[in-house]
Amino acid sequence: MKTTMTFGAVSAIALLAAAPLFAQTDLTGSGELNDRIDDIEEAVADDFARSEDESRFGNPEFRPGFSGSASVSYTGQTGNNESQEFSVGARLRYAQGQVVQTLGLALDFTDEDGASTKEDLFAVYDLNYYFDDRFYAFALGRLKVDGLAAEAANPAETFKRDAFLGFGPGYRVVNTPDMTWRVQAGIGVSYLETGLDESVTETGGLVASRFFYRVNESMFLTNDTDILTSDSALRANNDFGVNFKMTDTLSTRVSYLTEYNDSRGIRTDNKLGVSLVIGF
C-alpha cells in the first residue's frame, strides 16, 4: 500500500479590493458578496502572516501563563434542504520561563438531509524549550481524523487517522535584525490508518530550515524548507517568498511553493502565489 503523509505549506492566490459596506440582504446578493470579500481578505491575511516567523529572534516574548482564543460556528437550515454545520477552532498557549507550549484544535461536522458529510478533527501540539537565544529543543505532535473515511469512494487510499510525533534540537545560525536563519532536525514516528482499517507505523527523520532576510525597509525575503524521510517516501517542501511594501497602502507578496514526494507518479508539484493588499 502506498502511503503519503502531508505537512503544511500552502500559498493563496488572491486579490483584495476595498468595497463599500452594503446592507446584509441576500435577495440583492450583497450579503453573499460581503461574505466572499471576507473570505478573500482572510486568505490574503493568512498568506502574509505565514511570511512572519514569530520565533526567528530567539525566545518569543509571550505573556506568561495561559492565553489563546477560541471560536464556535453553527448554522442550521430547514425547508427545501435540511442541513447543519458545526465548527470549533481553538488555539491555546502556555508560556512559563524557557518553555512555550501551543495547542491548536479544529473540528468540522456537517449533516445534510440526515446524513453526515463531514466529521473532521485536526489537532497539533507544539512544545519548545529555549536554552538560550540560539539553541532550543522541540517536540511536535499532530493528529488528523476523518470520521467518514470508511464511506469514501476509495477507502483504501483515504486516511481515517494520520498521526505524527517528532522531536529534536534546533539552532539559530544567524540571528540579527536583518537576517535570521534557524535549522532544526530530529526523528519522528508516523501512524496511518485507512478507511479499511489497514494501518502502517514507520519511523523517519525530519529537517527544517527557516530563513529571513530584510533587503530594505520595504522588502524582505523568506525561504522555508521541510524534509521528511521514511521507509515509504522522501517528501520535501520549499516555500520561497518575496514581500514588498510599496507604499503605506499597497503591499504585495509573491511566493513559489515546490512539493516533492518520490512515492507519486509525478513527483513534483509547483504553485505560484500572488497576494495584493490595496487600501484607500
Question: What separation in angstroms does the CA of 89 have from each of 93, 148, 173?
Answer: 14, 20, 35
Query: Phi, psi at residue 155, to the nearest 5°?
Result: -65, -20
pLDDT of the chain, 280 residues: tens digit per residue: 444 444 433 332 233 333 334 344 455 556 667 777 777 777 777 766 666 665 655 566 667 888 888 888 888 888 888 889 999 999 999 988 889 899 999 999 999 888 888 899 999 999 999 998 889 999 999 899 999 888 888 888 888 998 889 999 999 998 888 899 999 999 999 888 888 998 889 898 889 999 999 888 888 899 999 998 888 778 899 999 998 887 777 788 899 999 998 877 888 999 998 887 776 6
**What is the reported pLDDT for 225?**
93
Joined together, the cell numbers standing for residue 143 give 493528529
Q: What does the alpha-carbon distance between residue 88 and residue 101 come to, in Å, rounded to a whole number?
A: 20
pLDDT digits (tens, 9 = 90+) for 34-57: 777 777 777 777 766 666 665 655
β-strand pairing of 268-278 with 250-261: antiparallel
Q: Are 208 and 186 contacting, i.e. CB atoms less than 8 angstroms apart?
A: no
Which three-class secondary structure string do you get for the chain? CCCCCCCCCCCCCEEECCCCCCCCCHHHCHHHHHHHHHHHHHHHHHHHHHCCCCCCCCCCCCCCEEEEEEEEEEEEECCCCCEEEEEEEEEEEEEECCEEEEEEEEEEEEEECCEEEEEEEEEEEEEEEECCCCEEEEEEEEEEEECCHHHCCCHHHCEEEEEEEEEEEEEEEEECCCEEEEEEEEEEEEEEEECCCCEEEEEEEEEEEEEEEEEECCEEEEEEEEEEEECCCEEEEEEEEEEEEEECCEEEEEEEEEEEECCCCCCEEEEEEEEEEECC
Placement of cell 514569530 in the chain: 54
pLDDT digits (tens, 9 = 90+) for 203-259: 988 899 999 998 888 888 999 999 988 887 788 999 999 988 877 777 888 999 999
